[in-house]
Chains A and B, each alone.
Chain A
Amino acid sequence: MEQLVPEKAKISPFLVFFLVHTMQFGIGVLGYQRIIAMTAGYDAWISVILAGLSIHIIVWMMYKILETTEGDIITAQSFVFGNKIGKLLSVPFVIYFLLIADTILRTYIEVIQVWMFQDMSTFWYSLAFCVLAIYIIFGGFRTVTGVAFFGVVLPAYLLFSFFFTIPYADIKNLQPIFDHSIKDLVMASYQMSLTYLGYEILLFFYPYIKDPQKSKKWAHLGVLFTTFLYTSLTLLTFAYFSEGQLQKSIWATLTMWKIVEMPFVERFEYIGIANWNIVILPNFCIALWCASRILKRVTKIKQKHGVILTSLIVLITINLFKSRVQINTLIDYTGKIAFYINYGYIPLLFFLVLIVKKVKKK
């Protein structure tokens, strides 16, 4: 196999932790609780753990695929289907990452518009955000990784703000445990897997990892850390809200900040939402980077031009989503597509790679 990436552009294995975790932990955190509680009631935290653990299997499969073919997903697809079909199959991923970028940015802008500034323009904000993202991606993958690192570390203090809800927590809400059927729990796990999406970026930046063997541990740790955060947040939310109350809250996580009282700030949500900008910036950058990277690998377009092209598409399409209902539909579809890619296509590719490898050996 040809060398895909020069040595100096590669990243340390431990940074995979931040890349995987930051991509998983983004806009979905603000309001996933209501959706899973609708299906599995207050037993849904079990589903959060189940869905989180299932990801480890997928990550393991992804590493197997990548190790066998020594490249990214496009190498793997070429390996299985041949060069032309392999490249053709990669094109939908461009659309997929553009969808993700759209979802992230539009949902975040919606949150700002609902919670802070009703009259903020979607277009101008997206434009500024895209310019920033383009600037970061121009710096190369190492810069994107750096942003991912800070996207995790800098806003980490926000986690402490959730301790304000503990005096209001009522453990009785969670009892009795296992009051819902296994079917409900599995259904909620499915819904939860939509919130967990993002770890599939591993398939695209794998060639950039120095010493990929060592990065395995970090990728799994990243997923585990996300699972831990989501589970604790779910438990806190369920103890803090009564069931009827949670069903009314679109952004349960943000609503929890309403109880935070500090002498120097009247409404903590404003600080939280503003900080969330840092949380979603790496997500948006990584999505754009992946889209432009695939474009570069499939066609002859330079990545720099690819980034500008993809962000232009985002800028145009983001204005199509105007109301809550439309945004919700966007989120739903993105989640579903992500689910089929992660739990359908990746295992399929995994088995195909194994089979083709055996056939080729013979």
Chain B
Amino acid sequence: MIKNVFVILMVFTVLIGCVQKEILDDVNLESGSAYDYVGGKIKGTALVPIYLPNKEVQNKTFSASSNLSRDFLRDVQRQSSDPLVTGSLKVVLFGESLAKENGILDLIDSFQRDPSIGAGLYLATAKGEAKDILEGQYGKRGNAIYLSNLIRHNMKNKDIPKTNLHRFLFDFNQLGKTPYLPELRKISKDQIEISGISFFRYGHVVDTIPASKMFYFKLLVDKYSRGTLKVTHKKERAAIESIRSKYKMQLSTKKPFTVNVKLKVNAILNEYSGKRVTPKDIKEIEKILQKNIEKECTLLTNRFQKKNIDPVGYGHFVKSKTRKFNFEKWKTDYPHLKVNIKANVMITESGVIE
């Protein structure tokens, strides 16, 4: 009896194991992908790192055109020796023409639907063709790792506002908020840079700000922003690094809607072209910075209002302060929203020399 039970149990254990196996050495891990809009069709490119015996990583790309994002993967399978799996996808790029003309909504859907894709996936738009960026040769650890590290460290320590797949979907599905993504530009075969931020409305890029304005935008959307700013003070130039920032929004009046934004920035002085900085200079630099921030942030807000996008989430904020908020009415109210930005900059240190 016991022997029989044992045999049956053994059979179970063996049979339960009858599912699709995916052994790491026998699959092609898609680590990055790029989408472009070429000739009325979506052209997808999958980036697969190939680990060579001498510890180098070769970047292999597969491309195919189709109408659906998933379709492209199926077509690419016909070119690949091992099955392509998406479990370790790190970065996805959207080409300029695709993001502007066709929109990326259909593609985003497939990332959301696929259980094997993480929410921490980095999305970015490309200046020019996205495929072109994936086909470069950056770093020694493969392009996907390079690109995702590039985006990650700039979000953590520098001027790029935090985004990933989850934040994108969060903003996209939030009434009164629109998503944004960093924009990448290829400089040469082995060089790449983050060139700005693209703003979306219904999956289409409608506006892009240059790198010089990114920090001001980051101040408006991220809680603890670090980043660098350049200031001219009495013909001298100074570089300021923000250590941490806080923003506080207040709804001051409801008819018409007025929002007060208070920005508090703690910074250090990194570089100064003059001979020495006195406390008086620092006070003046703080003043200039405050004025710059207030001016630039107001300009950005006005720009967003004109383009009818709301990446800062003013609508979401006003909703959280208003009962029975009407988003239909907000659509006409938003262009007339008044935003007062007040900045408070404090330079705490100026390095190890005076």
Contacts and interface: CB of A to CB of B under 8 A. Distances in A.
Contacts of B316: 172
Contact of A245 (B87, B117, B173, B317): B173
B20 A267 contact: no
B166 A124 contact: no
Given A243-B174, A266-B118, A267-B116, A119 B12 contact: no
* B12, B321, B322, B324: residue with the most chain A Cβ atoms closer than 10 Å: B12
A176 B322 contact: yes
Nearest to A174: B320
A242 B322 contact: no
Contacts of B19: 117, 119-120
A259 B119 contact: yes
Query: Number of contact residues on B: which range applies?
Result: 35 or more
B118 A179 contact: no
Given A176-B321, A248-B112, A267 B118 contact: yes
Given A128-B16, A131-B12, A266-B87, A259 B118 contact: yes
B88 A241 contact: no
A255 interface: yes
A119 B177 CA distance: 40
Contact of B166 (A120, A172, A247, A258): A258
B2 to A, nearest CB: 13
B173 A114 contact: no
Given A119-B19, A124-B16, A168-B167, A255 B321 contact: no
A108 B156 CA distance: 38
Interface string A173-190: 101100100000000000
Contact of B118 (A114, A120, A261): A261
Nearest to B19: A117
A118 B316 CA distance: 38
A173 B320 CA distance: 7
Nearest to A171: B320
Contacts of A139: none
Interface residues of A, number: 34
B28 to A, nearest CB: 15
Contacts of B18: 121, 124
Interface in B105-123: 112, 115-120
A127 B12 contact: yes
A243 B15 contact: no
B207 to A, nearest CB: 21
A121 to B, nearest CB: 7
A102 interface: no
A115 B173 contact: no
B78 to A, nearest CB: 21
B323 A258 contact: no
B54 to A, nearest CB: 25
B118 A168 contact: no
Contacts of A128: 12-13, 16
Contacts of B9: 131
A283 B325 CA distance: 43
A163 interface: no
B119 A248 contact: no
A242 B117 CA distance: 19
B175 interface: yes
A114 B119 contact: no
6 closest A-B pairs by CB: A244-B173, A242-B174, A175-B320, A258-B119, A245-B173, A117-B19
Interface of A: 114-121, 124-125, 127-128, 131, 168, 170, 172-173, 175-176, 179, 241-245, 247-248, 255, 258-259, 261, 266-267, 269
25 contacts: A114-B115, A115-B115, A117-B20, A120-B19, A121-B18, A124-B12, A124-B16, A124-B18, A127-B12, A131-B12, A168-B167, A168-B170, A173-B320, A175-B321, A176-B323, A242-B171, A242-B173, A242-B177, A248-B173, A258-B118, A258-B119, A259-B119, A259-B120, A266-B87, A266-B88
